[in-house]
Amino acid sequence: MADETVPLRDELLTRSVTSSEVVFEGAVWDVRRDTFELEGETLVREVIDHPGAVAVLALDEQDRVLLIRQYRHPVSANEWEIPAGLLDIAGEDPLVGAQRELAEEADVTADEWAVLVDYFTSPGGMDEAIRVYLARGLRPVPEGERHQREGEEAHLLQRRVPLDEVAAAVLAGDLHNSTLVIATMTARASREGGWTSLRPADSPWPEHPGRREGPTG
């Protein structure tokens, strides 16, 4: 059904959830089963309960994007990505989390921060929301203050690649990480518009699961 009067903006809703139970408890996230009402119909859906995440497109003075390469076991691939991480520290501000991830994964801090884009990764099955920041004015973390990386992160590679070159690799089908793809193409579009689409780093983020009021549909 077409309706040209509906605003072009996602509408956050709170559905009448009649029951909710955790059916799987994992090391990183859980799966819950919700029963809820939608337009008079009772539906049951299983949802990956995710703490949300932040990511950082760090751009240096030469318009190069700071990329890291990390092994991702679910897709059996060494993926080029931008620094990112879970918001799994209770009460941590998203901007602080992004600054922490940039320092821990890339040994870099930044003087300028802005919100680049917000998105849901897979709203058909999980509630993960990601906020991507644009960071500029990059500075190295002093050698003695650098984070000791473990697991997959202990084997990270790092490159700085011109933004246009990253965009070309996305369009060629050579890069597949969703956060990298979305951040790169958004940054390119924003740059073409003189960066006027950037929002303050402390902009509200009601889509984040920790900032919602009850289960949503």
- 139 or 145, higher pLDDT: 139
Is 33 found in the same domain as 124? no
Pick the closest to residue 136 from 118, 156, 116 (CA basis).
Answer: 116
Does the residue 1 lie in any domain?
no
pLDDT at 93: 95
Q: How many domains does the chain have?
A: 2
Does the residue 107 lie in any domain?
yes
Give yes or no for residue 216 having a pLDDT over 70.
Answer: no
Is 73 found in the same domain as 133? yes
Is 116 found in the same domain as 31? no
Please, which residues have CB within 8 angstroms of residue 111's CB and are 6 or more apart in sequence? Answer: 136, 137, 139
Is 115 found in the same domain as 89? yes
CATH number for the domain spanning 152: value is: 3.90.79.10
> Could you read off the pLDDT of 21-56 as tens digits, one per residue?
999 999 888 999 999 998 889 999 999 999 999 999
Amino acid at 204: P
Is 123 found in the same domain as 75? yes
Is 174 found in the same domain as 105? yes
Does the residue 137 lie in any domain?
yes
Does the residue 38 lie in any domain?
yes
Helix (H) or strand (E) holding 17: strand 16-25
Confidence label for 151 from pLDDT (cuts 50, 70 and 90) = low
- Which residues are part of the catalytic machinery? 153
Is 166 found in the same domain as 73? yes
Is 167 found in the same domain as 123? yes
* Residue-number span of the structural domain to which 104 is assigned: 53-200
pLDDT at 39: 86
CA of 56: how far to CAs of 10, 40, 98, 102, in Å?
23, 42, 6, 7
Does the residue 8 lie in any domain?
no
> Could you read off the pLDDT of 168-178 as tens digits, one per residue?
999 999 999 99
